[in-house]
Amino acid sequence: MSVVFNAATAANVNILRTTNELFQVSQKRVATGKSIFGAADDATRYSMSQTMLSRSRNINAVNNNISTALKTLESTDIALKQVRSLLQQMNDMATQALAAGSTSTISANPTANISENTYVVGYSAGMRLSITSDAGDNFTYTFANSAAGTGSSANVTWGQVAQALNAANIGVQIRFEPNGTGSRLVLESTDRSTGFKIDGASSAQVVDDLVGINSSYDGTYASSKFANGSAMPTGFAATTPYGMAFGAGGFIQAPSSMPSASANSSISFVGADGVARTWSTATAKNQDAVIAEINAMNAGVRAELGAGGFLRLRKLDGTAMVVLNGSGSYNPSGNGRLNSIATQPYQMGAPITGAISNAERLRLGQQYEAYKLEITAVINNNVVQNGRNLLAGQGMNIILNEFASNPIAISGVTMTTGSLGLTGVGTGWTTDALIQASLGQVQGAQAQVDDVAGQFGNYSTFVKERYDINREFSSNMKTLGDDLVAADVAEESAKLTALQTQQQFAVQAFSAGSANAQSLLRLLG
């Protein structure tokens, strides 16, 4: 069914339709902030806007890559700072090692590589290691069983022997220190000054593990100085084992074996307190008795069997041993004289310098080596983007603009402890020269790290500046692009208000026209 409008009603309908279309356009512009939505609205402005917005997006993509590169440079800088800090601590360790110096101590240092886990070789049940300090305290380790097969866990290790000795607290201890690629056993006085003796009661089959052990008094290890097997030596005889003594005092030793002292023999000597003393005997006595009686005088002088079974007198306070005279078996003119020139009663034994200990230096050296490993770990685990580690020789190219032209190439460096020149080994810090060499290498490495950090820092500064430029340019491009198609929100809001008023008037007019038409139809009907 068709609806018939009069001219006024038709005009009102057209006005409402047009007003509604204009209302929708203004409403869309106010909601979006745009006045141009496609090329049909304004081809020139729309095209320019899209170009600027596209460049802004491209620059943002470039900056995303630049940001990744910057994070890589920042991470590398942090890693270099860690390496620099570790090198500084290594520098401090070397300086401390130089200041610590080599200290004099009473010790025995076998040249064989012996660690805590090294098995004692060749022992049988009942064999011993016996050690007596100059203070008279004794420690004896007696092996309960014979050694089992090679590598058996039933075997006794030198670490177990060390634990037993150290727990005995006799003033003598065993420790293990680096020795090249291995370690060596060190037997030393805990106060660094009191002497001690590996007794002749020790079994040669046990002591022979300590290859190269030697004493200033007794020379290098010889099996004849110790018991053969488990039989305990008794009494003095030319073949009786006598052990090895370690100390820092002077000593005097008879030039020939003296199995006994004849009647009316005597020895006059100066004790540690500077007082002259005389030992004498009216009857013949064996060497064991002579040794026991002189030691019982508590003069700070130790009498003992020396190399070859000789009578030896040594000073326990580190000063020279002085023998004034002797008689009988110890007559200056006889074979048992305690001097080097016949008929000369006076004899002074020069003090013996204690062994050199580098325990503190080597402890610092071990820490130094550990820090080298830490440097390697820092370099290898440098946190980087896309797997590129600038400290492992891996480089990267950084695109700086949206045209991908003239990218900057950053070459990585292959950094290792070797390339840094850290070739010195802290476990060899036994002389000032070796420590100074390591110290020089560390300082050279610090200079290298600083140089590399400076190079990467320059790249970082340049790239960061370009990142900021790009960010500002991208922001400007987006602003310009948006401005080209932007709507005047105030104007469009005013239009909406006017259109709403116009729409209301049109609706009222339409309603009035409709009412008049209905009234007319009622009159005619």
Q: What is the pLDDT of residues 384-415, one digit of tens each?
A: 766 678 898 888 888 777 777 778 888 889 99
Mean pLDDT of 410-431: 89
435, 429 in Cβ contact below 8 A?
A: yes
Neighbours of 258 (CB within 10 A): 22
289: nearest Cα among 332, 344, 329: 329
Of residues 239 and 104, the one with the higher pLDDT is: 104
| Averaged confidence pLDDT in the chain | 83
In which band, very low, low, confident or very high, does the pLDDT at 368 lie, cut at 50, 70 and 90? very high
pLDDT at 198 over 90: yes
What sign does the CA torsion over 513, 514, 517, 518 have? negative
pLDDT at 16 over 70: no
CA distances from 396 to 61, 218, 272, 306, 406 (A): 17, 68, 76, 74, 13
Question: Containing H/E element for 304?
Answer: strand 301-305
pLDDT, position 524 = 61
105-114, 435-444, 481-490 — which is least confidently predicted?
481-490
pLDDT, position 5 = 55
What burial class does residue 437 get, using C-beta atoms within 10 Å of its C-beta: 0-12 exposed, 13-18 middle, 19+ buried? middle
201-215, 220-234, 429-443 — which is least confidently predicted?
220-234
396: nearest Cα among 314, 313, 459: 459
Q: What is the pLDDT of residues 475-496, one digit of tens each?
A: 777 777 666 665 555 666 666 6
State the Cα–Cα distance between residues 43 and 40, nearest whole angstrom: 6
193-207, 231-245, 366-380, 387-401 — which is least confidently predicted?
231-245
CATH architecture of 58-100+358-480: Up-down Bundle (1.20)
Percent of the chain whose predicted confidence (pLDDT) is above 90: 39
pLDDT, position 1 = 47
pLDDT at 502 over 70: no
pLDDT at 91 over 90: yes
78-87, 224-233, 320-329, 334-343 — which is least confidently predicted?
334-343
pLDDT at 239 over 60: no
| Centroid of chain to Cα 231 | 49
Of residues 82 and 239, the one with the higher pLDDT is: 82
Neighbours of 162 (CB within 10 A): 20
413: nearest Cα among 459, 461, 465, 463: 459
pLDDT at 196 over 90: yes
Mean pLDDT of 178-200: 88
